[in-house]
Amino acid sequence: MKRYGLIALILIACFGAGIWMATYWRNQKDASISRSQSTVLLEQVRKVCKLVTVEGTFTELYNDTNIRKMTLYLPLPTTWNFSKSALLEVKGKVLVGYDLENIKITADSTNRVIRISNLPQPEILSIDHDVRFTNMDESFFNGFTKEDYTRLAQNAKAMLREKAVEQKLLEEAAAQGNQLFDVMQFMVEGAGWRLEIEGATPQPVEVDSLAN
């Protein structure tokens, strides 16, 4: 009988120890809940006046390869290549139009003339892009760093800018702008006025060079 009582005490002790351990690990898990905090910094707020005439949507694949050469002396000089490559899927939206911040509009009520000056050229107003890293292959002596990810994201944005230029979105934005001025001229002349646009002759569109 004493032996059965001892076994029962051991079983009760093991059961109690199991409950204690389960409670301990649950409390540890609850205590390890991660907390994140975000801080929003408002740098500058200013009024803008921009006219979007063309919107382009792109989905592109961007491949970037980097090779690092290392020379080892064993005892003869031997050069080894350590490469890393990244394949990115880039989705973006490019807005093209006019920055009208410096445009000037004057009305000559005596001669019933409306003059528009400082007419800007079409430009890329904004690029909103999303990058997904689909394949990252690196070597032991040539791995990806935080600076590499920043550079890849910047290059992806530059690629979208280049694609927008290749697709002639700037020329299309200029054509849309001319149609808008035609509508303005029709409305002004319908009211008995005359519209004069300084520098309305089409000019070559300058494109900012892309940084490598």
Spatial CB neighbours of 146, under 8 Å, sequence gap ≥ 6? none
Residue 102 pLDDT: 85
Residue 70 belongs to a domain: yes
Alpha-carbon distances, residue 65 vs 42, 87, 157 (angstroms): 36, 9, 17
Alpha-carbon distances, residue 61 vs 87, 91, 150, 162, 163 (angstroms): 7, 9, 17, 13, 12
Residue 19 belongs to a domain: no
pLDDT digits (tens, 9 = 90+) for 136-194: 888 878 888 899 999 999 999 999 999 999 999 999 999 988 888 888 888 888 888 98
Average pLDDT score over residue span 7-15: 49
pLDDT digits (tens, 9 = 90+) for 121-130: 999 999 999 9
Interatomic CA distance for residues 190 and 180, integer angstroms: 15
Count of all residues that appear for the chain in the document = 212
Residue 209 belongs to a domain: no
Average pLDDT score over residue span 14-38: 52
Residue 28 belongs to a domain: no
**Token code pair at residue 176:** 């849309």
Residue 115 belongs to a domain: yes
Highest mean pLDDT pick, 19-28, 66-75, 77-86, 193-202: 77-86
H or E element that contains 176 = helix 169-190
Residue 5 belongs to a domain: no
Q: What are phi and psi of 202, to 5 degrees?
A: -60, 135
**Average pLDDT across the chain, whole number:** 78
Q: Residue 36: pLDDT band by 50, 70, 90 thresholds?
A: low
Residue 209 pLDDT: 35
Percent over 90 (pLDDT), the chain: 30
Residue 24 belongs to a domain: no
Total domains present in the chain: 1
Q: Which residue segment(s) compose the domain that 126 sits in? A: 48-197
Average pLDDT score over residue span 10-20: 51
